[in-house]
Amino acid sequence: MPANHLIIGSPAKAIRTLSEQELAWKKQGTREYQALVERCKQTLHQVEPLREVEAGRKRLAFDENLRPKAAT
C-alpha cells in the first residue's frame, strides 16, 4: 500500500492521500500514546483498591489541543 494514504476495506484499498493536517494529527496522537506508555512504565506499582472515589483526586493531564479528528 502507498504511504500517507487512507486505507480501508477487506481487501484493503487506498482511497485517498492524507492531508498534511491529518498526518500531523495522527503523529501527535501517537506521541501522546507513547508518552502515556512511558509514564505508566515509570509509575506503575501495586496498590490496594479504592473502596470509593477520593474527593479532589487528580486526573491525568493531556494536551488540550489534541482533539478527536471528528471534533476538528
pLDDT in tens, 15-63: 999 999 999 999 999 999 999 999 999 999 999 998 998 899 888 777 7
User: How far is the CA of 45 from the CAs of 39, 41, 55, 56, 62, in angstroms?
Assistant: 12, 9, 22, 21, 21
Which residues lie below 8 Å from residue 60, measured CB to CB, with a gap of 6+?
36
pLDDT at 61 (0 to 100): 79
Looking at residue 69, what is its pLDDT? 74
Q: Does the pLDDT at position 67 exceed 80?
A: no
- Confidence band of 72 (pLDDT split at 50, 70, 90): low
- pTM over 0.85, yes/no: no
What number is the average pLDDT over the span 8-19? 97
